[in-house]
Amino acid sequence: MKTSTAIKSVQVTDKKIGEGVLKVHHPFMSLTDLSDEGGNSMASYIVRGGNRLAGDVTVSGSKNAALGILSAAMLLDGACKIENVPDVADINVMIEICKDLGAKIKRDNEGTLLIDPTSINTHEAIEDKVRSIRGSYYLLGALLARFGKASLYMPGGCNFGTRPVDQHMKGFEALGAEVSLEHGIIHVEADKLLGEHIFLDVVSVGATINIMIAAVKAEGTTVIENAAREPHIVDVANFLNTMGANVRGAGTDVIRITGTPVMPAGSSYSIIPDQIEAGTYMMMAALTHGDITVRNLIPKHMEPLSAKLEEMGAHVESGDDSIRVWLDENEHLKPASFKTMPYPGFPTDLQPQATVLLCLAEGSSKMMENVWDNRFQYVDDLKMMGADIMASGKLAVIQGGNPLTGAKVTARDLRAGAAMVMAGLAAEGVTEIVEINKIERGYERFVNKLQSLGADISRLDR
């Protein structure tokens, strides 16, 4: 019996997907991640705290931009070259998924990909690996643009509560696609994609990129209103334009895409630096009373963090493509209030790391999480290390100044994992962080980069 669920029908039912049972109100509104696997989940990091981090560190290409750009490359009508692609687990999975579709991809050691998508021979991405990362959902937009149809497993990714995709579906429908969910596979299909005016109900990075990608070959003009403005949205738009598309307004809340029937490609594009990786190292400088120059970043992207670091008493000096952050031995961090917001607000992906910093600031601080509904799961691990934090709903109140002591803690997700490494760097004694496969989804050569800054960290393979 066919169990396809039309997007327009609102039902309350339990759906069996894989081995899990999903409570569904609206099929695309309350989907929770099913998988957070990948890499060697048995490996751990051992951190001996107390070292002051100093020196230069170079930021890698943006993981989240690369996920969008790799997907967007799948709709091209010719080959292209993409530079500054980070060598991290999520991107490597994404490359494998694209190869499974039939794309020819060659990678050199310098982070450059040569991609020929003209050999793609299927509109279906229904391998298990699709479920292990979040960014695979951009293939819905890309394959829809290429074939007029796409089928994809519900994507996975970091688990911090429900991660709905209703806004993506709303956009595809507006462009003329039929959307359904069958056995955990999303199907989208259109006789013809026609440009439309789409007003997003929530500011969503993923929906903005997915709709932008799908609309690139649609007939006429698509307008996305209430679009997200994150740097990687601009990067995906710039990539598409370099390959022949006509996308205007990315980086503002109104994006206009005038459809181009053929995307000739044939050019090279270099991915922007990773804003979140850069921010993590900037905070590590303040955390360890260190002095780090973070190179190959875009200072403008770091402004929400730079302002907060200065408010907390750290020194921040911006260059053209670098930022130096330092805190002297005799200086102290001051407490502060943070609120995460879509760009240009303070990024949710730096929230756990900033919370660790607040643990060291003497006095009472607040962290308000406004993007995700369950992104304080790591707080219990910090408490185990001696932190005084009360977290309830979207608010955490941090009573800073208690010394942290090393413990065995878990990387609950990618950024929470980075926060645990930070806590370990600041703690007395040894911290073991387990489930580091989640950290390695998004931080390139994390251990090497930290060691070069003077951290006492090693990777233990079991």
- Residue among 34, 31, 158, 135 nearest 412 (CA): 158
Distance CA 142, CA 139 (A): 5
The gap from C-alpha 443 to its chain's centroid, in whole angstroms, comes to 11
Residue among 80, 98, 158, 359 flagged as catalytic: 158
Distance CA 297, CA 299 (A): 6
- Residue among 377, 341, 339, 336 nearest 359 (CA): 336
Distance CA 182, CA 129 (A): 18
- Residue 260 or 280: the one with the smaller Cβ distance to ligand EPZ is 280
Answer whether 311's CB lies under 8 Å from 336's CB.
Answer: yes
- Residue 326 or 443: the one with the smaller Cβ distance to ligand EPZ is 443
Least distance (Å) from ligand EPZ to the CB of residue 222?
17
Distance CA 305, CA 298 (A): 12
Q: What's the alpha-carbon Rg for the chain, to the nearest Å? A: 22
Is 80 noted as a catalytic residue in this protein? no
Answer whether 447's CB lies under 8 Å from 456's CB.
Answer: no
- Residue 36 or 124: the one with the smaller Cβ distance to ligand EPZ is 36
Q: What DSSP state is assigned to residue 104?
A: E
Least distance (Å) from ligand EPZ to the CB of residue 442?
5
Least distance (Å) from ligand EPZ to the CB of residue 326?
26
Least distance (Å) from ligand EPZ to the CB of residue 329?
32
- Residue 153 or 372: the one with the smaller Cβ distance to ligand EPZ is 372
Least distance (Å) from ligand EPZ to the CB of residue 64?
3
Least distance (Å) from ligand EPZ to the CB of residue 204?
3
Least distance (Å) from ligand EPZ to the CB of residue 22?
15
Residue that the structure tokens 């006509």 belong to:
246
Helix (H, G, I), strand (E, B) or coil at 86: coil
Residue that the structure tokens 């730096």 belong to:
350
Least distance (Å) from ligand EPZ to the CB of residue 266?
27
- Residue 371 or 407: the one with the smaller Cβ distance to ligand EPZ is 371
Distance CA 32, CA 29 (A): 9
Residues that bind ligand EPZ (CB under 6 A): 64, 67, 134-135, 158, 163-168, 202, 204-207, 228, 348-349, 371-372, 414-415, 442
Tokens of 410: 């878990």
- Residue 361 or 418: the one with the smaller Cβ distance to ligand EPZ is 418
Distance CA 412, CA 36 (A): 10
- Residue 89 or 205: the one with the smaller Cβ distance to ligand EPZ is 205
Beta bridge partner(s), residue 338 = 367
List, in sequence order, every beta strand (DSSP E) within 84-220. Answer: 104-107, 113-116, 124-125, 149-153, 178-182, 185-189, 197-199
Distance CA 33, CA 133 (A): 10
Answer whether 210's CB lies under 8 Å from 222's CB.
Answer: no
Distance CA 353, CA 368 (A): 13
- Residue 266 or 345: the one with the smaller Cβ distance to ligand EPZ is 345
Answer whether 368's CB lies under 8 Å from 338's CB.
Answer: yes
Answer whether 231's CB lies under 8 Å from 206's CB.
Answer: no
Residue whose C-beta lies closest to ligand EPZ: 206
Q: Which residues are catalytic?
A: 158
